[in-house]
Amino acid sequence: MKQYLLLLRAGTPMSEKTEEQNKAEMAAWGAYMGGLGANLVGGLPLVSGGSTVSASGATGQAVTSANEGIVGGYLIIKADSLDAAVESAKKCPHIDNKGNIEVREIAPMPAM
């Protein structure tokens, strides 16, 4: 099996939803993560803000607007193919939260 990075972008912030909506979303996340079972390698939500660094050494502010596609978190999963990873991403509660998910294969590191 290969590993895939699921970048969770945009979505409705928890602060813009009711407590009931947030509880329902957290329950959906629990079910989704549990359903991944051994195919879940890891993942975390990310703190908004941050900085960027370019090749020239210039620094700037990271994307902070949901409309610009802020990365709010990530998951690393195992799947047999990109298509299988995409199907798994389609079931993620982040989609119901008006977010989008970029799915990328993680290249294996060569032995050193």
Q: Are 9 and 101 in contact (CB under 8 A)?
A: yes
Higher pLDDT, 112 or 63: 112
What whole-number distance in Å separates Cα of residue 38 and Cα of residue 26?
20
Domains, the chain, ordered by start: 2-49+63-105 (3.30.70.1060)
For the stretch 66-78, pLDDT in tens is: 455 678 899 999 9
What whole-number distance in Å separates Cα of residue 5 and Cα of residue 76?
5
For the stretch 17-54, pLDDT in tens is: 999 999 999 999 999 999 999 999 999 988 877 777 87
What whole-number distance in Å separates Cα of residue 82 and Cα of residue 3?
9
Please state the separation of Cα 36 from the chain's center in Å.
14
What whole-number distance in Å separates Cα of residue 93 and Cα of residue 78?
18
